[in-house]
């Protein structure tokens, strides 16, 4: 799940690694029409951020930029859900949910399976 790794690396530019967790749920694997071994992964990426004292609008803009570079969507599609809760006067708890899709090509080379996600 290369997109999840890339998303985590982007978040580390805006949030201390110790302040957030990233996990998936609602994962589905479907067969691709292209080749017998290829498949598609779709899942919801969940981001939980604790004690966030930065600019939430800047964080949301960074997530939006990452989505535009890494996820195919058409104009007007909702791609992110979020909730915030003030913990103290300057800190917030933020949850972000993203719907992600990864197409995985699979080849068999010398009896070994090799994957490439995009």
CA dist., res. 25 & res. 20, Å (int): 16
Q: Which domain holds residue 80?
A: 2-117
DSSP the chain: -HHHHHHHHHHTTTS-GGGEEEEEEEEEEEE-SS-SS-EEEEEEEEEEEEEE-S-HHHHHHHHHHHHHHHS---TT---EEEEEEESSSS-EEEEEEEEEEEEEEEEEETTEEEEEE-
The pLDDT tens digits for 63-113 are 999 998 988 765 557 778 999 998 777 899 999 999 999 888 888 899 898
- Give the pLDDT score at 59: 95
Q: How many domains does the chain have?
A: 1
Domain harbouring 34, CATH code: 3.30.70
The pLDDT tens digits for 4-63 are 999 999 999 999 999 999 999 999 999 876 657 888 899 999 999 999 999 999 999 999
């Amino acid at each position: 799940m290369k997109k999840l790794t890339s998303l985590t690396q982007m978040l580390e530019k805006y949030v201390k690694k110790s302040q957030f967790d990233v996990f998936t749920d609602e994962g589905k694997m479907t067969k691709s029409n292209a080749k017998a071994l290829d498949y598609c992964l779709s899942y919801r990426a969940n981001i939980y951020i604790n004690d966030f004292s930065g600019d939430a609008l800047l964080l949301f803009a960074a997530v939006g930029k990452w989505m535009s570079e890494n996820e195919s969507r058409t104009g007007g599609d909702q791609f992110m859900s979020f909730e915030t809760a003030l913990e103290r006067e300057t800190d917030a708890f933020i949850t972000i949910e993203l719907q992600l899709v990864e197409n995985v090509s699979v080849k068999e080379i010398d009896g070994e399976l090799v994957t490439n996600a995009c």
